[in-house]
Amino acid sequence: MKLLVGLGNPEKKYDGTYHNMGFFVLDKFAEKFNADFDKKKHNCKLGFLETNDDIIMLAKPLTYMNLSGNAVLELKKKYNLKNTDILVVVDDIDLPVGTYRYKSGGSGGTHNGMRNIVSQIGTDFPRLRIGIGKPEDIPLIDFVLKKIPPQEKQIFEEVADEAIDVIAEKLGVQDV
């Protein structure tokens, strides 16, 4: 089993914000591969995707961003997963808008959700960071919880499509 986690905040008011980029990418991944988030267990909305030789669990933590590690740790223990079986998708202010970066380990950086995951399970898990850019004139918390403006939505649609291809390759998922 593999675990694909998208980070975000669970309330509807956070839909379409920069900080919910992980949820956005996971939703698009689920749509592309016909997986539904039809279960609520282990502090997450869960979906499952069966491949030829594995099961991929898709998880959107309901713990809010800064406590994402609690949900990831619970799933890791429940399903006896190794850190290398876990892939986390997250927004990143240190990458320019329209870019992404896959990395197989590292620190939590400036992202509180990633810091919390690192504090719970360690640093040796893959992550795909989606660049949201760095604000120049507003506090960081206000920026990440801001709705993505219409002129940037198409950019994020395109980067999400590219990210989904990377995720599918890393998890061994074929097009359906």
What is the distance between the alpha carbons of residues 92 and 62, in angstroms, rounded to a whole number?
20
pLDDT tens digits, one per residue of 90-133: 999 999 999 999 999 999 888 999 999 999 999 999 999 999 99
- pLDDT confidence tier of residue 175, bands split at 50, 70 and 90: low
How distant is the alpha carbon of residue 52 from its chain centre? Answer: 23
Domain boundaries, the chain: 2-171
Sign of CA dihedral 119, 123, 129, 133: positive
The model's pTM is 0.95
Say which of 2, 19, 111, 129 is annotated catalytic: 19
* 176 pLDDT above the threshold of 50: no
SS3 of the chain: helix, strand, coil, percent, to 5:
40, 25, 35
- Domain 2-171: assigned CATH number: 3.40.50.1470
pLDDT tens digits, one per residue of 28-87: 999 999 999 999 999 999 999 998 789 999 999 999 999 999 999 999 999 999 999 999
Q: Active site includes 111?
A: no
Residue with tokens 């989606």: 130
